[in-house]
């Protein structure tokens, strides 16, 4: 079976993990964490990185760090992972959805202004499958309305919008370093920011809000969302190879796109002018004229030895939110269509060109 993704780990990661084990720095202190945070923040073009246990925790801390009044509204895309809406709700805020664009699958910036009310405080764009949302237009709207932007860049390590990297543009950028991400720490995440006060707040929240002036003394409620030095050791080795990882993702995507170009109705990922898509996952949407369902296609591909994954299901369709009285009667047509008609193909960094060619042939066969 050709897997959808597999981590690509090297000797350097093994050495750094070995060093952490030999020296006993296996918990949340150790030089790998601070180096990893510093290098990743620098890569994103900001001054602070606060590493945490996963991308979901990063989003939760970013929301909590703002300490917004209860009932504040946060605009986010309907097409995303539940971590985003969950972070909004856990911070006592209200998620307000907008649909996504049919080509980049990222939040449709042209719909944002209509959703702004007197209670809106934050916009949370999600950079989907390696392509960024239109951050220039979004930052413009945010500035005009006095709103903060939290970027979810979990899937877009190193992606660019007009020369600026994902995660480094908004007030805070959130990353996941789960095993399928462009760089991984196994489990892990980070919030990056250029704001000193937010960085301080994030560090406190990550570590139970211990006060620095007196031991075991707390004036706020925090979490244990710490990352370990063992995980950061892997991350440190991975950062050193990020250019290589992204180049490999882009070559893989070019190979897929060349092979699928002539298939009528098959919607392929785009790279808009002035953007750099890092093609975290090579995703396709079955469009007009393709009768087969994604479930049938996934089953056929599985039969050929090719693993796939379906797209996210829209937040407005999630039972957990419907039961809470959220998003009742709301419709997001692009999200609904792509969530039913999209799937992503093997995109692991260890795949050979011959594996990609094998997947391409299997896709053609399943559509024939």
State the residues that interact with ligand PLP by CB under 6 A: 54-56, 80-81, 83, 126, 152, 154-155, 176, 178, 189
4 CA to centre of own chain: 16
Nearer residue to ligand PLP within complex by CB, 54 or 347: 54
**289, burial (CB in 10 Å: exposed 0-12, middle 13-18, buried 19+):** exposed
Question: At closest approach, how far in Å is the CB of 187 from ligand PLP?
Answer: 6
Question: At closest approach, how far in Å is the CB of 68 from ligand PLP?
Answer: 20
**257, burial (CB in 10 Å: exposed 0-12, middle 13-18, buried 19+):** middle
Nearer residue to ligand PLP within complex by CB, 105 or 178: 178
Question: At closest approach, how far in Å is the CB of 122 from ligand PLP?
Answer: 15
Question: At closest approach, how far in Å is the CB of 56 from ligand PLP?
Answer: 3
Nearer residue to ligand PLP within complex by CB, 154 or 351: 154
199, 48 in Cβ contact below 8 A?
Answer: yes
Nearer residue to ligand PLP within complex by CB, 80 or 335: 80
User: Among positive and negative, which fits the CA dihedral 65, 68, 70, 72?
Assistant: negative
Nearer residue to ligand PLP within complex by CB, 205 or 266: 205
**Which pair of structure tokens corresponds to residue 166?**
């994902």
According to the 3-state scheme, what is the secondary structure of 203-260? HHHHECCCCCCCCCCCCCCCCECCCCHHHHHHHHHHHCCHHHHHHHHHHHHHHHHHHH
Question: At closest approach, how far in Å is the CB of 265 from ligand PLP?
Answer: 27
Q: d(Cα 152, Cα 124) in Å, to the nearest integer? A: 7
Nearer residue to ligand PLP within complex by CB, 84 or 142: 84
SS percent in the chain: helix, strand, coil, step 5: 40, 15, 40
Nearer residue to ligand PLP within complex by CB, 189 or 269: 189
Question: At closest approach, how far in Å is the CB of 100 from ligand PLP?
Answer: 12
Question: At closest approach, how far in Å is the CB of 107 from ligand PLP?
Answer: 11
Nearest residue to ligand PLP, by Cβ distance, number only: 55
CA distances from 7 to 187, 205, 238, 257, 304 (A): 12, 30, 10, 23, 22
CA distances from 5 to 163, 164, 205, 303 (A): 28, 27, 32, 18
């Amino acid at each position: 079976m050709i897997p959808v993704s597999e981590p690509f780990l090297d000797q350097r990661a093994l050495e750094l993990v070995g060093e952490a084990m030999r020296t006993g720095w296996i918990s949340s202190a150790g030089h790998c964490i601070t180096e990893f945070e510093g290098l990743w923040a620098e890569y994103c073009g900001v001054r602070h990185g606060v590493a945490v246990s996963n991308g979901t925790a990063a989003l939760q801390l970013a929301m909590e760090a703002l300490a917004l009044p209860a009932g504040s509204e946060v605009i986010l895309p309907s097409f995303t992972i539940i971590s985003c809406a969950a972070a909004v709700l856990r911070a006592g805020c209200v998620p307000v959805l907008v649909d996504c664009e049919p080509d980049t699958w990222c939040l449709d910036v042209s719909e944002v202004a209509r959703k702004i009310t007197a209670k809106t405080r934050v916009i949370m764009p999600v950079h989907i499958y390696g392509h960024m949302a239109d951050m220039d237009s979004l930052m413009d709207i945010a500035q005009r309305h006095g709103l903060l932007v939290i970027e979810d860049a979990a899937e877009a390590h190193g992606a660019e919008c007009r020369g600026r990297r994902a995660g480094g543009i908004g007030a805070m950028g959130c990353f996941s370093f789960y095993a399928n991400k462009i760089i991984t720490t196994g489990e892990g995440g980070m919030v990056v920011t250029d704001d000193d006060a937010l960085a301080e707040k994030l560090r406190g929240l990550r570590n139970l809000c211990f006060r620095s002036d007196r031991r075991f003394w707390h004036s706020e409620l925090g979490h244990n969302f710490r990352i370990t030095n063992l995980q950061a050791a892997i991350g440190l080795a991975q950062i050193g190879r990020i250019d290589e990882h992204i180049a490999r993702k882009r070559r893989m995507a070019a190979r897929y796109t060349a092979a699928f170009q002539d298939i009528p109705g098959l919607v392929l990922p785009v790279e808009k002018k002035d953007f750099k898509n890092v093609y975290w996952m090579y995703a396709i949407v079955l469009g007009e004229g393709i009768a087969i369902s994604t479930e049938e296609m996934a089953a056929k591909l599985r039969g050929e030895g090719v693993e796939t994954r379906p797209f996210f299901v829209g937040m407005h369709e999630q039972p957990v939110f419907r039961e809470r009285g959220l998003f009742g009667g709301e419709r997001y047509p692009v999200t609904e269509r792509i969530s039913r008609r999209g799937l992503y193909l093997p995109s692991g960094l260890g795949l050979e060109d011959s594996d990609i060619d094998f997947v391409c042939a299997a896709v053609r066969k399943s559509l024939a």
